[in-house]
Amino acid sequence: MRRPTGAGPRAPGGDILRWAPIRRLVGLRAFQFLVILPTAAVVGVILLSTAVGIEHPSFNFGTVFTWVVWWGALLLSFVVLGRAWCLVCPLGALGEWVQRLSFWRRVPYTAGYHFRWPKPLRNMGLATALFIVFVWLDNGYGMSNSPRMTAGLIVVIALGAAWINLFFERRAFCRYVCPLTAFIGLCSLFSAMELRRREAATCRSRCATKDCFRGNDRQYGCPMGEFPGGAMDTNLHCILCTECIKGCPHDNIALRFRPPGRDLWAMRRPQADGAVAAAVIVGLTTVLPLVLLVLLPGLRRALAGVLPAGAPPNDFPRLAAVGLLFALGIGLSLGLVWGFSALARLSTRQAAPTAGALFASFAYALIPMALFKMMADLLDHALRTWGPLVDATRALALDFPLNRVVPGRVTVIHLLGPGSVYTLQSALVLGGLVWSLYALWRISERLFVDRRTALAAWVPMAGLSLVLTLMSLWTLGIGLL
């Protein structure tokens, strides 16, 4: 038997909008533009550096800053601030500026056609597929250590945002197309901060205009098409643009801290597209590395007898092998989550919820494992090879902003030994496991009234979490064996 759905008790924690200076700051019409400016300046330097700077990845400021500093900061930001990157992202903002013909003012005219986004694409499918392509480009072509490919990626995303927002309403690119939107949205479910309405009754009974969604003559409506005064109960699509805070005539929007991960178990209507995207992200971070490590050399050799060889990185047997193994790894991950969900249904001895419904609920709870595994991966790189950060900054300073000069030998800074690094990585991976176990238990408690049934559904999913954790631990530990 199911419990009545609902978000459960309200999260504790203070509403930082009650603090007058913060409230005044985010109330400024130009607030988002002002916080985008510094990021836009950094992205401009990165674009120049990656487009015309030196190709040595350890001396190119753009590649080092993008794939180590930005990527690491992005992962950390999920834990505390949710989709804060989207608030300051100049690439998505470019599309908005083109559409509105204004940097921050509410203007009555527009350059956009404001077509509705096609109904079959109103889900995370396209964004998830593009995220897989994004990761494949990195593993097939080595995008993260190619300055030119990094520049190309930035340009493609900026032009894509401008082009799509010119034709479609609101921030259609950021919501449905950006290769990172599904990844950022799902990881932000873990965040310790949320933007929500303060009192549901105020929105239901006192608000007839729904300005947070529709906008008014002074403010724009939610650019992501969310309804903060109504159905929005997760961080999934909230980019913290503060438009709803400015627009609410009842001052009924709160920005508050809460227990991390609350969205994972408290969301009222878990959707299948988000669950599939979650299982894909978990697969890319835990299952796929092991699959690639074990099978790539052999499959590449086998395909070399069939496909023409090319000069690396355009080595067709390798590119095809990486593609096939991506399909295998992602398929395996989806199969594992589905299989263990079916086992959970079998354990409950109940016809409902179905295995599919359990998959849709439980898959979200695996996000902390993926997030903490990615942090463990990056921690390893940052601690082992801290030097390139210094080298790249020095190289940029010597030839600002074009970054065409190599300053000399690369710096080698040894921060921690392999055993110490692995211990820290294991702590992160175990942290992700414990959070996932807790989220799975909260979901089980929500789905089933009876504790024994809830436990019966939880046990197989806990088993899956353990398997995925073992994959992470042993993949990271290969160098120690």
Partner 1 sequence: MARPLGLTVAAVAALGAAVVWAAYGLAGVIPAGDDVTRDGVRQVTIHGHAWGFSPNVIRVAPGETVQFIVRSEDLRHGFSINELGLNLPLAPGRDTRSPAVKVDLPEGIYPIHCSVFCGIGHPSMKARLVVGTPPPAPSSRLPWIASLLSAAAAVGFGAWARAGRSARG
Query: Segment 106-145, which members bind partner 1 (CB under 8 A)?
Result: 135, 138-139, 141-142, 144-145
**Is residue 352 part of the contact set for partner 1 (CB under 8 A)?**
no
Residues between 443 and 472 with contacts to partner 1, criterion CB under 8 A: 445, 451-452, 454-456, 458-460, 462-463, 465-467, 469-471
Q: Write down the least CB distance from residue 265 to partner 1, Å.
A: 8
Residues 45-64 that bind partner 1 (CB under 8 A): 56-58
Residue 28 touches partner 1, criterion: CB under 8 A: no
Distance CA(284)–CA(244), nearest Å, equals 34
Q: How far is the CB of 267 from partner 1 (least distance, A)?
A: 16
Binding partner 1 by CB under 8 A: which of 31, 65, 190, 441?
Answer: 441
d(CA 46, CA 65): 8
| Cβ contacts of 43 within 8 Å, gap of 6 or more | 90, 91, 154
**Minimal distance, residue 199 CB to partner 1, in Å:** 22
Nearer CB in complex with partner 1: 118/313: 313
Q: Which residue of 156, 293, 352, 449 would you call a contact of partner 1, by CB under 8 A?
A: 293
Nearer residue to partner 1 within complex by CB, 25 or 466: 466
How far is it, in rounded angstroms, from Cα 425 to Cα 132?
Answer: 25
Q: Which among 443, 436, 444 has a CA at the least distance from the CA of 464? A: 436
How many residues of this chain interact with partner 1, rule: CB under 8 A?
89
DSSP letter (8 states) at residue 207: -
**Considering the complex, what minimum distance in angstroms separates the CB of residue 58 from partner 1?**
6
Q: Residues with Cβ < 8 Å from 447, sequence gap 6 or more?
A: 2, 3, 353, 358, 361, 454, 457
User: Are 330 and 280 a contacting pair, CB within 8 Å?
Assistant: yes
> Taking the complex as a whole, how short is the minimal distance between the CB of residue 311 and partner 1, in angstroms?
6
Whether the Cβ atoms of residue 2 and residue 448 lie closer than 8 Å to each other: yes
The verdict on 305 binding partner 1 (CB under 8 A) reads: no
Which amino acid type is present at position 125?
Answer: G
Gap between the Cα atoms of 325 and 295, Å rounded: 8
Nearest to 274 by CA among 352, 337, 320: 337
- Write down the residue that tokens 């409230």 correspond to: 23
Cβ atoms within 10 Å, residue 441: 18
Nearer to partner 1, 32 or 63 (CB): 63
Q: Does 5 bind partner 1 (CB under 8 A)?
A: no
User: Is residue 424 close enough to count as binding partner 1 by CB under 8 A?
Assistant: no
Dist. CA 164–CA 167, nearest whole Å: 5
Beta strands 253-257 and 193-197, pairing class: antiparallel
Smallest distance from partner 1 to CB 57, Å: 5
Residue from 36, 42, 45, 288 that binds partner 1 (CB under 8 A)?
A: 288
Q: Which helix (H) or strand (E) holds 266?
A: helix 262-266
Q: Which of 162, 255, 429, 447 binds partner 1 (CB under 8 A)?
A: 429
**Terminal-to-terminal C-alpha distance of the chain:** 48
Footprint of partner 1 on residues 317-336 (CB under 8 A)?
318
Residue 357 contacts partner 1 per CB under 8 A: no
Find the binder of partner 1 among 83, 89, 380, 448 (CB under 8 A).
380
Q: Residue 79: name the closest of 435, 469, 358 by CA.
A: 435
- Rule CB under 8 A: which of 187-246 touch partner 1? none
**Residue 417 lies near partner 1 (rule: CB under 8 A):** yes
In the bound state with partner 1, the residue whose beta carbon lies nearer, of 271 and 426, is: 426
Among 164, 184, 284, 389, binds partner 1 (CB under 8 A): 284
